[in-house]
């Protein structure tokens, strides 16, 4: 056996992996996936909850702006059991103050559904707990103050607070559900 043939065998063996090394890598990847994937799923759920809270706040801001622009009342109705909300417009031709109609715009007349796994939590109007919410924005943009909780299955809670005045809409993440 020559030195060059020994060197060739040794070098070819150094580039190969043993079955034990391959199994160790597969086991480590499995453990890593078992730790990382559940956390990623939680992050995706949290993003859905955050998006729902931001979309609700945007809908509130839009309703307020439209009530001022059109000089009419705009109504935001939250359907708690179905997890949807919708807008309606005061009928300008009506003599009744509470006669509302659609916008005649498919985008504005659409029901806005919460993402899967997100639900309405507690709703407060003027610090009083209420079972349903119909928020009316007057022609000057003023409304009753509301506090709306959005929650997911992991008990994360976002709070959308609607102040009485035009520029008062905030979204905050709560550490624990409110008592």
Average pLDDT over residues 9-23: 69
Q: Residues 6 or more apart from 89 whose CB is under 8 A from it?
A: 66, 70, 72, 73, 74, 75, 100, 101, 102, 103
| Residue 44 scores a pLDDT above 90 | no
Q: Residues 6 or more apart from 121 whose CB is under 8 A from it?
A: 148, 149, 150, 151, 157, 177
| Lowest model confidence (mean pLDDT) among 8-17, 119-128, 136-145 | 8-17
What's this model's pTM, rounded to 2 decimal places?
0.70
pLDDT in tens, 96-121: 556 788 877 777 778 889 998 899 99
Fold of 6-174: minor pseudopilin epsh fold (3.55.40)
pLDDT in tens, 62-90: 999 999 998 989 999 999 999 999 998 88
pLDDT in tens, 20-32: 888 888 877 777 7
Closest among 136, 119, 127, 125 to 79, alpha carbons compared: 119
- pLDDT band at 15; cut points 50, 70, 90: confident
Instruction: Give phi and psi for 108, each to the nearest 5.
Output: -75, -30
- pLDDT band at 5; cut points 50, 70, 90: low
Q: What whole-number distance in Å separates Cα of residue 173 and Cα of residue 79?
A: 22
Instruction: Give phi and psi for 82, each to the nearest 5.
Output: -85, -15
Among residues of the chain, what percentage have pLDDT more than 70?
Answer: 79
| Residue 154 scores a pLDDT above 80 | yes
Quick one: pLDDT at residue 110?
A: 83
Q: Would you kindly state where each structural domain of the chain is located, as residue ranges?
A: 6-174
């Amino acid at each position: 056996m020559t030195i060059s043939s020994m060197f060739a065998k040794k070098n070819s063996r150094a580039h190969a992996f043993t079955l034990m090394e391959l199994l160790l890598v597969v086991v480590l990847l499995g453990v890593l996936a078992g730790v990382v994937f559940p956390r990623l799923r939680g992050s995706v759920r949290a993003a859905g909850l955050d998006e729902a809270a931001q979309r609700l706040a945007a809908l509130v801001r839009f309703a307020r702006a439209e009530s001022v622009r059109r000089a009419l009342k705009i109504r935001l109705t939250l359907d708690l059991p179905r997890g949807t909300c919708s807008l309606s417009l005061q009928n300008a031709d009506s003599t009744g103050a509470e006669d509302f109609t659609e916008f005649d715009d498919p985008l504005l007349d659409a029901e806005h559904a919460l993402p899967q796994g997100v639900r309405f939590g507690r709703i407060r109007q003027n610090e009083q707990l209420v079972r349903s919410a119909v928020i009316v924005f007057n022609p000057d943009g003023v409304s009753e103050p509301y506090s709306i909780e959005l929650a997911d299955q992991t008990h994360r809670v976002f709070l959308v607070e609607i102040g009485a005045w035009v520029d008062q809409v905030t979204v905050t993440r709560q550490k624990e559900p409110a008592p």
